Each structure stands twice: as C-alpha cells, then as structure tokens.
A and B are shown apart, each in its own frame.
Chain A
Amino acid sequence: MFNLENAIAAWRRPFEVDPVFSPDDIEELEGSLRDRFELLSAKGLSDENAFRQAAKQSGSYISAETEYRKVRWGKRRNEGRLMDEFVGRISMVKNDLTIALRILRKQKGYAFICVFGLAIGLASCLLIANHVYNQLSYDRFHEDANNIYRVNIIFTDNSGTATRMANSPPALLPGVSEEFPEIKRFARLRYAGRTIFEQGQNRFYENSGFYADSSFLDIFSFPLMLGDKDTALDQPNSIVITEEIATKYFGDEDPVGKLLNMNNGIPLRVTGILASIPATSHLQFDFLVSFSTYVVPAGYRSDLTSWSWLGFLTFVQLQDGASGSELRDKLDKVYRDNSTGDWVPFQTEVQPLTDIYFGSAGLVDDLASGLQSANLTTVYVIGIVALMILLIACFNFANLAMAVSTGRRKGVILRRILGADRGRLVRHLLVEPIALSFLGLALAYLLSLVAFPYIKGVLGWNYSIDWTLVQLSIPIAVLIALILGAIAGLYPALVLSDQKAVLALKDDLRTGSAMRKTLIAFQFCISIVLIASTFVVNGQIQYLSEQELGFEGESVVVMKPLSQEMASHYEEFKSRLLSNSDFVNVSRGERSMGEPWPVNSILVDGRDESESKQVMGNHVGYDYVETMGIKLVEGRTFSKEYPRDSTNSIILSASAVEYLGLENPIGTEIQHFTLDGPRTVIGVVEDINYSSLHHERTPMVLIMNFVDVDYLFIRLSPGQLSEKIAALEKVWEATVPGLPMEFRFLDDQVTELYQKEQTLSYLINAFTGLAIVLAILGLYGLISFAVNQRMKEIGVRKVLGASFPSLLVLFSRQYALLLVIASAIAIPVMRYVMGLWLEDFAYRMEISWWIYILPTVLLAFVALATIMHRTVYASLVNPVEVLRSE
C-alpha cells in the first residue's frame, strides 16, 4: 500500500545526508513537492501516481545538488562566512605544523642548528645594534642639540703646522656676542682639575667638574632636579652637584642651600641638584661651580680678558636657522682685525655639538678635562661585524632549512600525485621554516636580554638596554624572520612543486644546490674576513703594547694630590720617602703620561720670530727623567747642584732638536713663549710617547717652572708591592695628615689609553668566535646532510671498490672550489676595511701575507675535518644496510 509520508521520507534521504542542503532548503523543496502532489491529486490521480509525477516535475536530486552547490559557495563568499573558511585554513596549517614538527623531531640536529644558530646570530646583532645606536646617539638628547656648537681654535705656527684645539680664550665670546645677533647664548667652561671637597666628616677628591657660565644650564638640557636653572649659577660661590655627589656628601639630607667647602677654604652654596649625566654626553662632570667664582691662579700670565689664553671650552647656542660656518667666518675676521704683530692670528672652528663625539680625533684638549670621544670607524667595524654575524646565521638557516625541505622531496611529490594543488604545497613547505625562524627570533630576544649584563660587564659598556631601540627592532626582526622563512621555504617549494613528479621520484635531484652553494661561498667569504680581522685587531694591539714608549711605567706610582696642600710639604715628603729603600726616586710634574701636554711656541734665541715652533711641554721637578726611566742622550738632567736649572734651563727631546734644526743643542739658548727670558739647553732625552700611540711622537721640552704640584711620581724598588704601598701610606699620613691618599700605577694609566682598542678586540674576538662557530655549525650540518643524502651512492661506490680517500675527494672537491672563490672575494674586502681602521693609528702593524692566507687555510682545515668525520661515518656503514633500506 502506498504511504505518502514514507515516500516523502525516502525522497528526502539523499538531501538530508548532503551537506549542500540546509534543513530550510529541504523543507522548501519538500513544500514544493507537496504542492505539486496536492494539485495532481486534486486532478484525480492516485496518490502513488501523483507523487511520482510531482517528484519528476520537481527535478532530480543530482541536478538539484549541482545547482545548489554553485549557489551555496557563492552564497558563502558573499555572506562573508569567513569564519568557516578561516577555521578550515587553520586546520590546514595545523596539519602542516604537525607534519613539520614530526619531521623536526626526526631531524633534531638540523632543527637545533637552524633555530639556535639564528637565535645567536640575531641576539648578537641586537646587542651590537644597541651599542651602535648608543654610540650614534651621543649628545643628541639636548633639546636644542642642532643649534649648539663648540668654538675650537686652530693654531698654526710659522712652519705651517696646525694644531686643532678644543679650547678657546675666555674673552672671545663675551667680546663678540653683543654684536652677533645669531648668538642666542654662550657659555664658557673651565675645567676645575683636581678638587677636594669637604662637608663635615666627608672629605674627598673630585676629578670631574667645571666652572661654568650660568647660561650653561639654559643651553644644554641637563635636567636640574632641585633648584632653578636660570639662577643656579648666577652668584659667585654657587655650586650645582649631581645626585651621586649629593648623596656622597650629604647622605639623605636635602643639600640645597647647604655649604660645601672647596679646596680647603672656598665656601660654596649648593644651589641645585642635577640628575645623573647621561652616559651619552661627551661632557661628563659631577659638579658645576659658577664661573664668577673662578679666580685665575697666581702666577698665570693671562687673565679672563685674554684673547689668546686657550684654557676654556666655549659653547654657543645659535638662533634657529643660523649657520655655524658663517659664525666661524665672522670670528676669524675678528681675530684678523684685532691681532697685533705679537702673535699669529688664530683661526676658529665652529663645531656642531653632535659632531664632537666622533669628530674630535686629533683635537687637542689642553685641559685634559675628560671629554669623551670615539672613532666612527670603530663603530662601523663593529656594525659590520654584527651584520656579518647576522648574514652567517641567516645563510645557515636558509641553507639548512632548504636542505631539510629538499629531503622531503618524496613526500611532496606524493602529495602532488594525490592531487594537492601547487599553492597548497607551497604553503605546506613554508610552514616549517617560518615556524623555525620565529622560534629563533623569540629565542634571540630572550638570549640578548639574558646575555646583556654579562657582555656589558666584559666590554665596559656604560649604558643599559635602550627600549625604544628594542621596540624599533621588533618589526625589523619579524620582517627578517618572515623573509628568511619564506626564502628558505619558498625556493625549494617552488622548485619541487614545479618538477615533473616522475622525474623527481626517479632522479636524485639536488634541489636548490646552486643557491646553497652561493650561500656557502658567501659564508666562507664572511668567515675569512672575520678571522682576518681578529688577526689584525689583535696583532695591532700586540704591536702597540710592544712599542717602546720611551719611559718605564712599571712600578711608578702616580698620585694627584691637591696642589696647594701638597706643594708646601713636597720636599719633606720626598726626603722622607727617599730615606726608605723601597722608594728609588720621587719627582713631580704638571701632566702625567697619557694626557695631552700643553702646546707652546719656542724659538732659538737670536733667530727670527717667524722661525718659532710649536712643541709640547711639561713642567717637571728634579729627578723627573730618572723617575720616569727616560733615556738621556746627551748632556745632563735637572740638578740641585745647578741652582739656575729651576729658572734658566731646558731639556729637549731628540725630535725637538731635529725640529729646531740644532747641530749642537747643548748650550743653545731657547726662548719659551710663556716664560721670561731665554733658557739654556742642558740635556737631550730620547723621544717618549706621552700620549697614546694613536699620535706620532711629537717634539717635546721639559722645563722646571711651576707653582703647583699636580702630579707626584714615585718609582718603587722591585719586589713586594703591598708592603711598599703600606709604607707610602704611612709617610703620606705623617706628612699631610688628613689629606686623602689616592694613587695609580703609571703603566695602568697608559694601558687605559688603549681601552677602546682592547674593548674592540674583546668584542671582535667574541663575536668573530661566535660567527665562526656558527659558520662551522652550518657547514657541519650541510655536509652531514649532503653525505646522508648520498649514502646510497657511497654504498654503491664502496661495493665497486672506492677507497676512503677517493670518497673524501668526492665530497671535498666542491667545497674546495667554493673556498677558493670565497677567499678571492674576501681578501680585497678585508684589505680595504682593515686599512681604514688602521689609519687611525700613528703606529701601525704591517699586514703580512699570512694574514690573508691563514684564514682560508683554517677554514679549509675545519671543512675538511667535518667532511672527514662524516665520510668516515658514512664509509663505516655496511653498504648492504644502506642499499637494503630502499
């Protein structure tokens, strides 16, 4: 018996199981069917016939399915049911990730090298970027940095030798600022030198402070935490101190308004507290005393109205839009107009504040006021090292990731045969390297944060992580990771998905090998440059340390006591020390080794004034030459047996004799510009390198004429140092009770001059080491991968009787060729870069031929060792095993 409902239910069934039809669709179709049925049945047809007719008119399930499917997809897109699609896509990516993870788990070694290598490379790069960023940001924190300039003086003597000095005379800017409207403000600084401060029980030496015009705080943006910057330095006897100094002398008390005693007698009122001076300031100081407090010391031949006393630093702040070079021309004109016949007119240089840090090479700071400067080339060298590390890490990553995905050739081909479209395949191959590169990226940030404090300690970096830089770096790093992952995945993906499936399955194609070879060659190239650079930098430092300085700094103690207090007790101190056999010699001097010496004009008496020469000079005490271990060439040194020595004698260095063109120097009368009357040459000493070996040894003179004791030099007898220092302390306390004693060793002081080079060498050693390890790791990974891929081939060759050496040659051949190409590219590059860096030194090592060859040899050795290791492993495997496995 025909049952309508059963018939309809049967009719519905195919629709119900088909996801193309929604329940609504089915209800609508069923409604239509029923309508037809009712109409037909009303015409008198039997139920069964009516239903058959109606079902026929409604159309078949198959045609409905096709039509509905067309609409349904369009509908999905148009109605924006993206979520469904998104979920679909995600599940696809999830699937890809699962497979990627499975493969990585199988190939842990490669995955590790990939991720870790990239992480280390990126982390090094981040750390170095932080350093470079810090270096390049010097002095840029001042709000008006672009309008601030320092007035330097260029001082040319009659022989045409120009000396560029950071110092300028005190009357220059006060004299012209009214007439030059472009000058908004100016400020003079006078280095306060060695200073002693006293507050209650607290009594310490301070080395780092200036007398400053009150406008100083308006020009620069050193923030004042307490006090008013407009008036803090207005009054005489005012002082502004940094937080650290405030805590040192006043503890937790509020120091503003309190008194601080300077140099045993000058009371200063604290009028402001400065926040710590940023590390990125070329001017570093702990205190500023109002300029009106400064008194020219008795005995100086100049005063504050001088236009020629180069004893100050002068900064000007110009109006917006005013040009420094125009100001320079005007200042030069002032000098030309006002100079009398007595002295050579100065030239000025108006140096932008932001150029000072890197632009002060060869600039003499006559005051030794601790101005920070650096060599831009060094920063570039470091930056280049970072870039190279990054490149090596990236190449490693790309190479290995490529190699690994090439290893998945068969899986990919199978997917293709099973009908995966090309886009799907590319996505599938991309997921793995991108996941790896992001893992590396995350690890890199972690590593750099963890490593920063250690590296900071080792390299003596005085700043912390710059978070703005970190923020800045993230998008770049993400971009790098993305590009890297994409390159590593895309290249093999495109090649693989394009290959004729059968061909790829059949043939042992080494996909991407041309690309890989190029990358390896690059890596070799970078490694060679880096290894050679370490040789050069270390060699240069070694070379410098082997240079004869012309004096013996070992076991000479340098003390810088406060001038006036020690001056009156000097002779007493000296004789007490010399009564003890621990102390060989004692002397004193105006300047120590390692800091610039004042430049002055001298003239052989009787010659024309146009023949005056510029020489460096130091004011020293008796026994100076002996204490310092300077070699006497002829004549004698200063001696108490000749009472006239202290006022009428001079000692020249050998190069000064040559410079002045003297045949028989002893007895020659010399006019010294700053002294009254001529001086007689009593001795000639060997040249010494009193400033760093960045500079040539310059002609020098020694004279005895000073008011204050700046430095004490004490030569100790060889042997136990600690006892001698204890003895020294005892004598000190007995001579100048209560005066704090501080000392250093002269050779330490000298070594400090090469601090930057030392740091650079640590940095380059460390990061080059890293880069080389990375490169070797990458090479190792690649070679073992290549060997693994060719296990079958090795098996066949062995069966056919190939010897181990012949296998070795088989694998090494291509790498040898790459290495040769790489070194051909690397050698000229490193020649150029290192030449640039060495230019900064007056004394340079020779780059010998082996420096060019050795890195290549080393690399060849490492590569060979790797190949050997892998080949031995491969050749030990029984060929049967390998050949059976496929």
Chain B
Amino acid sequence: MLTRELAGAAARPIILAILSHRENYGYAILQRIEVLSGGELSWDDSTLYPVLHRLESQGLLTSSWQKADNQRRRKYYGLTAKGQQELAVEKQQWLSVNAVLAQLWGLKPQIA
C-alpha cells in the first residue's frame, strides 16, 4: 500500500490521466485505479470525491449528471482544456522524478 501522502500527491495526475481518455464517473475511476495498480492503490470514496470536486473548482474538470443503464443518475467527470494543460505539466514533473529515481537505482528509464 502507498503511504497516505504519496497517494494524495499521486491522486491528481492519476485522475487527470484517467479522465484524459474519456469522461467517467467516480466509482469507475476507483475501479480503474485499482486495476492499474494491481490493488496497490485503493482509495475510498471520501478520498476520491473531494479531490474530484477540488479539481472541478480549479477549472480542470467539468461534471454532468447522466442517466445510467440502471436508471440511476451518475455524475460524470471530464477534462477541460485547462485540465489537459495541467496534465501535461504533471506528466513532465512526474517523469523527471521518475528519471532521477531510475538513475539512482540503476533502472532503465521507461517512458510511459
């Protein structure tokens, strides 16, 4: 499991990256993270939703309520243009951290 701090810091680029492919709703995002991390990253709702709301209030995400197949309403989040830019910035930062650690630990940098 990741530490709380690291999980918190990573939430932002991860959410932005997931939403950059297509709009999605909260629980689906959680599931995707869980799958991608192989269970290493597992957030509860009280962690995810506030982050989504904060990103929305910063203008990086938009949200809209949509009817799902089971007739329940779901709030879908999508990336704004500003969100796309922010994602690029985040990506650059995380890659530089990655590059430093990779060199220090003698790993081959792997470009995502």
Contact = CB atoms under 8 A, between A and B. Distances in A.
Interface of A: 24-25, 27-29, 31-36, 57-60, 63-64, 66-68, 70-72, 74-75, 78-79
B47 to A, nearest CB: 7
Contact of A75 (B46, B47, B54): B54
Interface stretch (B12-20, B71-79, B82-90, B101-109): B71-79
B110 interface: no
B27 A24 contact: no
The SS class assigned to the B binding surface is: helix
A860 B47 CA distance: 75
Nearest to B29: A32
A608 B108 CA distance: 125
A63 B46 contact: yes
B27 A35 contact: yes
B45 A32 contact: yes
Nearest to A63: B46
B3 interface: no
Contacts of A24: 75
Contact of B57 (A35, A57, A79): A79
B92 interface: no
Which 4 pairs from chain A and chain B are nearest by CB?
A59-B44, A64-B46, A59-B46, A67-B50
27 contacts: A27-B73, A28-B75, A29-B45, A31-B72, A31-B75, A32-B26, A32-B30, A32-B45, A33-B45, A34-B72, A35-B27, A58-B45, A58-B46, A59-B44, A59-B45, A60-B46, A63-B44, A63-B47, A64-B49, A64-B50, A67-B49, A71-B50, A71-B57, A72-B53, A74-B57, A75-B57, A78-B57
Interface residues of B, number: 19
Given A31-B25, A67-B50, A57 B72 contact: no
A36 B45 CA distance: 11
Contacts of B93: none
Contacts of A74: 54, 57
B26 A31 contact: yes
Given A31-B73, A31-B74, A36 B27 contact: yes
A26 to B, nearest CB: 11
Contacts of B73: 27, 31
Interface of B: 25-27, 30, 44-47, 49-51, 53-54, 57-58, 72-75
A68 B48 CA distance: 10
Contact of B46 (A27, A31, A67, A78): A67
Given A36-B27, A59-B44, A79-B57, A68 B49 contact: yes
A58 B45 CA distance: 5
Contacts of A72: 53
Given A34-B72, A59-B44, A71-B54, A25 B26 contact: no
A885 B62 CA distance: 65
A29 B30 CA distance: 13
Contacts of B49: 25, 28-29, 32, 64, 67-68
A58 B74 contact: no
B47 A70 contact: no
B110 to A, nearest CB: 31
A678 to B, nearest CB: 107
Contacts of B58: 78
Nearest to A60: B46
A93 B94 CA distance: 49
Nearest to B25: A31
A36 B47 CA distance: 16
A297 B57 CA distance: 95
A284 B27 CA distance: 92
A71 B45 contact: no
Contacts of A63: 44, 46-47
A59 B72 CA distance: 21
Contacts of A70: 50
A79 B56 CA distance: 10
Nearest to B75: A28
A253 B51 CA distance: 88
Q: Which of B45, B54, B74 has the most CB of A within 10 A?
A: B45
A34 B70 CA distance: 11
B28 to A, nearest CB: 8
A24 B27 CA distance: 15
Contacts of B46: 58-60, 63-64, 66-68
Given A31-B72, A34-B72, A57 B54 contact: no
Contacts of A59: 44-47
B22 to A, nearest CB: 18
A59 B45 CA distance: 6
Nearest to A76: B57
A68 B72 CA distance: 23
A67 B47 contact: yes
A24 B57 CA distance: 15
